[in-house]
Structures are given as structure tokens and as C-alpha cells.
Amino acid sequence: MIQLTNRQARQFLLLKHGLLGEYKFSGKQGVLDFVRQVSCIQYDPIDVCGKNAELVLQSRIKGFTKGMLAELLYADRSLVDYPDKNLAIIPVEDWPYFERYRQAARQHAERYPEMEALTAQVRAHIQNHGALSSDDLKLDGDFSWQSAIHWSGGNNSSRSVLEQMYSTGELIIHHKQGTRKYYDITKKYISPNLLNASEPLEDEFEHHKWRVLRRIGAVGLLWNRASDAWLNIWGLKAAQRNEVFRQLLHEARIVAVTVEHMKDTLYCLAEDVMLIEAILQNQEPKLRCELIAPLDNLLWDRKLINELFGFDYTWEIYTPAIKRKFSYYVLPLLYGESFIGRAEIIVERKTGTLVAKNIWYENGVKQTTQLRTALNSCLKRFALFNGCETISAESL
């Protein structure tokens, strides 16, 4: 059992994520290193000032550009789009561990005998024309379905069939244009040793242990209670989760952490104890100011963030306008070891302008010269990330 003060727990989380002190990750290799550390980053297609996965990376990777992620996904194929915590991006070497989900999708497809003729049309179209989106494809026949894995099929039979073939692993996302996904045959892009590998953890309980370890590593500290951090792990109910935690503790793969004034025990990966020991040396890391993604790994359990940081964040994108406290797309603002507020940032692409429309500071935050300097530096980096040459922040 490790005992931490609240500040030490916050420092640990931020240092693990590379959000405190000097940049821990740099350039394209840094992107790959970070994704491998957290196992998955959540994908969302909405692009107000960068898509969610890009926003996660720009806050951690020195010199990050959007092209780096695109290259790793669609040129190098070191990363792959695949459902993990909902829509996500994962290291390609983790592909075999999700075979049980692809197998479930294949079994699900057997309920739709009309599917085979439609998938044959897709294969023929790709062979003749290359990667395609649902807009490029007009199938002979109508088909709608409910996916076994993630998506809900509607009346668009082309989209439904493509998503089904993606769920079974026959198709991969070749690239994206905006929100549109283009598909191609998976075996062209994933090596046979990964593509043909059997499920490494055939026992469901061992698979649950693997998934829980990944999620703890993705956040840094988690508790054994209901949480959005466990989303999309099939069959992981409270009883199964309790047994998983018991065994992971018994195997010394996770370590219990108590934090002052917190009732619940937290857990970290055993390999992160060295980082905690560094925190206990009372280091004073350099302060940075960063804009944090709405679906950032650090924020996967917002109740935990509220308890540790005293920061209550809700992504209001799905909140009716009349009920919003802030705005449609607002990013948490991190300065040093604290969330000091939230920012509404809009990219005006026609004029190449980054508009800092609003910043709402938390109660008690003093807008010192040091904070202003750090915030201006953050906005300059954010403008560069978004390809903007000018910044409009007159209201700040």
C-alpha cells in the first residue's frame, strides 16, 4: 500500500501523462511511444479546433503535427483505428487481442444470410477501384442491421455492410477525409503474423485482466468502482471486476494507493511505482499550460478528476443549448498541477485565425503575469498545431 498526499497523486498522474515539467514525448516517435504507453486514445470525428485524438497528442508531444498521426495510421500502419474504449486508435501489435470481438461479429453476421452476396459486391468493387467509402458504393439489395460490436446500422445498406466487414476484421480504415471513412482489405496492411495470430488470451477472465490493466495504464490511477473508464469491455460487471482486481493485486501487477481525504483506494500499474518514488523526492517540476481534449485519457473518470483536482468538467456537446453552463465545445485548461479553467477555442479556417472566444477561470485563480505568459505560449502552440497564422483573443 502506497500513501500519497493529494498533491503527490496529482503530480504522479500529470507526470505519467507527460503533462507536467519538460516534454516527455517528442515528434513522431513520441506519438507512437505515448499511444503504446496508454494503449489507446479515443477517436471522435468532431473538429472545432482539432479532433479529439489530435488534441490528446498536441498537449503531450513536443512539435506534434496532425500529419504525424495520419502517417502512423495510414502510411506506417504502426497504429490502427479499432474499437477499444469506444471508437479508438490502438497500436497495431494489439490487433490479435481483439480477435474475440471479430469472431463475435462473424457469428453475428450468420444471422443475415443476405450479407454474403453484398460483401462479395464490396470485395469486387475494392478489387476494381481501390479503397472506398459508403458514398462510393451502390449495392444491389437492401440491408440494415444492428452491429455486434459498435455501430448501429440504418437504412444505408452500403454503410451497414462496410461497417459489418470492418467489425469482422475483413476491412480496415484505409484513411479518413473529414468525417468520412474509406475502407480497404485488411490483409494488404497488417502483417500475416498479426492478422493470422490466434487470440493470445482465450480465457475470458484473462482477457478481462488484460483490458483492466490497459485501462489503469491509460489513466494512471483508477479505483475499483463503476466508471466510464471501463466502457466497452464486454462482460465486465462488478463481480468480474472485483475478482480481476483481487487477482491482479495477488499477482503484484497492480499496487494499491491511498490518497489523503479520499475514501476509495486507487490502483496503479506495478511498473509505475518508480515514478511515484520520484514524486516522493519532492521535486518541483517546471509549470506548463496546456489545453486538454474533452475525451482525454486523463479525464476518462471525471468523478476521479473532481475528487483529485477539484475540477468538475462536463463535455456539453450533447447538452441542449439552453442547459449549457459554458458552451458547445470547451477544453479544460491545465496550468502546472491544477485545472485553472476551461476555454472555448474556435478555428476560423478561411482566415487562418485561432479565436480564443472565452476563458472561464475557476474560482480563486489569480491571473498572474506568469500565468498570462504561459497561456500566451500555449495559444501560440495551439495556433501552430491548427495551421493558424493569427490569434484573436481580444475578449481575454
Give 345's strand partners.
356
Instruction: Cell 523526492: give the residue.
Output: 281
DSSP code of residue 338:
E
DSSP for 227-292, please give it: -GGGTT-TT--HHHHHHHHHHHHHTTSEEEEEETT-SS-EEEEGGGHHHHHHHTT---PPP-EEE-
d(CA 72, CA 81): 11
Lowest mean pLDDT among 142-146, 225-229, 347-351, 364-368: 142-146
Residue-level pLDDT at 158: 87
Q: Is the pLDDT of residue 33 over 90?
A: yes
Whole-number percent of the chain with pLDDT over 90: 85
φ, ψ of residue 182 to 5 degrees: the values are -110, 135
Whole-number percent of the chain with pLDDT over 70: 95
Class in CATH terms, 289-392: alpha beta
**End-to-end Cα spacing for the chain:** 45
Given a contact cutoff of 8 angstroms between Cβ atoms, the answer to whether 356 and 391 are in contact is: yes
Q: Is the pLDDT of residue 42 over 70?
A: yes
d(CA 312, CA 42): 20
Higher pLDDT, 203 or 113: 203
Distance set, CA 19 to CA 90, 216, 346 (Å): 21, 17, 23
Q: Is the pLDDT of residue 228 over 70?
A: yes
Residue-level pLDDT at 387: 96
Q: Is the pLDDT of residue 34 over 60?
A: yes
Q: What mean pLDDT comes out for the span 360-381?
A: 95
Using one digit for the tens of pLDDT, what is the confidence trace for 186-202? Answer: 999 999 999 999 999 98
In the structure, what pLDDT confidence band is assigned to residue 394 with cuts at 50, 70 and 90?
low
Q: Is the pLDDT of residue 395 over 70?
A: no
Using one digit for the tens of pLDDT, what is the confidence trace for 137-181? Answer: 887 766 655 554 444 444 468 888 999 999 999 999 999 998 899
Give 388: exposed, middle or buried? Use CB within 10 Å, 0-12, 13-18, 19+: buried
Measured from the Cβ of residue 7, the count of other Cβ atoms closer than 10 Å reads: 14
Q: Is the pLDDT of residue 17 over 70?
A: yes
Q: Is the pLDDT of residue 263 over 70?
A: yes
Q: Where are the domains of the chain?
A: 2-37+45-66+198-279, 97-189, 289-392
Q: What mean pLDDT comes out for the span 60-82?
A: 98
Beta strand residue intervals within 28-156, DSSP E: 41-42, 61-62, 79-81, 88-91
Average pLDDT, the chain: 93
Q: Is the pLDDT of residue 62 over 60?
A: yes
The pTM (predicted TM-score) of the whole model is 0.94
Q: Is the pLDDT of residue 390 over 90?
A: yes
In the structure, what pLDDT confidence band is assigned to residue 286 with cuts at 50, 70 and 90?
confident
d(CA 34, CA 40): 9
